Amino acid sequence: MLRLSTAPWILTAVVVAGCSGSGYAVRPVPRIAADNVGKPVSVLQEAFGEPRKIDKSTTKLVYVWFLPQKPKQGTPSGFQGCEMEVTVDPRSQRILGYSLSNIGWSACRDVQRRIRVAQR
C-alpha cells in the first residue's frame, strides 16, 4: 500500500527534474552579466527591459541599465540600486564586457532578476 501511494510523488519529482533545463530562473545581476558576455545584447534587453540610455561611438555601444533595489530595513531610504553598463560591438550586437556600480546603500550582488535559461 505504501508503494502505491508514493508512486505519484516520485513520478512528479522525475517530471519536474526533467523540465528544469528550460524556462526561467532568478539569478544575481553579476552572474547574469558575466554569463552573457559574447552573446547578443537582446538577451539582456529581454531580462532587464529597455536600457536607460545607449551611448554610441564608432567603435562601441554602451548600454546602461538602472536596477532599483528596495532598501533593506535599517538602512536610510532613498535612491538605491545597481547601475549596469554593458559594452556592445555595434556590428555584431554581441556583449564585449560589463561593469556594475552600487548606488546608495545597495549592493549589486544582492540584486536579482528573472532570466530565461537555455534548454539543455
Between 75 and 114, residue with greater pLDDT: 114
d(CA 2, CA 116): 39
User: Percent of the chain scored above 70 by pLDDT?
Assistant: 78
Between 78 and 29, residue with greater pLDDT: 29
pLDDT score for 22: 58
Instruction: Render pLDDT for 18-31 as a digit per residue (tens, 0 to 9).
Output: 444 558 888 899 99
Mean pLDDT score, 74-88: 85
Tell me if 112 sits within 8 A of 27, measured CB to CB: yes
Please, which pLDDT band fits residue 69 given cuts at 50, 70 and 90? confident
d(CA 25, CA 115): 6
pLDDT score for 97: 97
Instruction: Render pLDDT for 39-53 as a digit per residue (tens, 0 to 9).
Output: 999 999 998 999 999
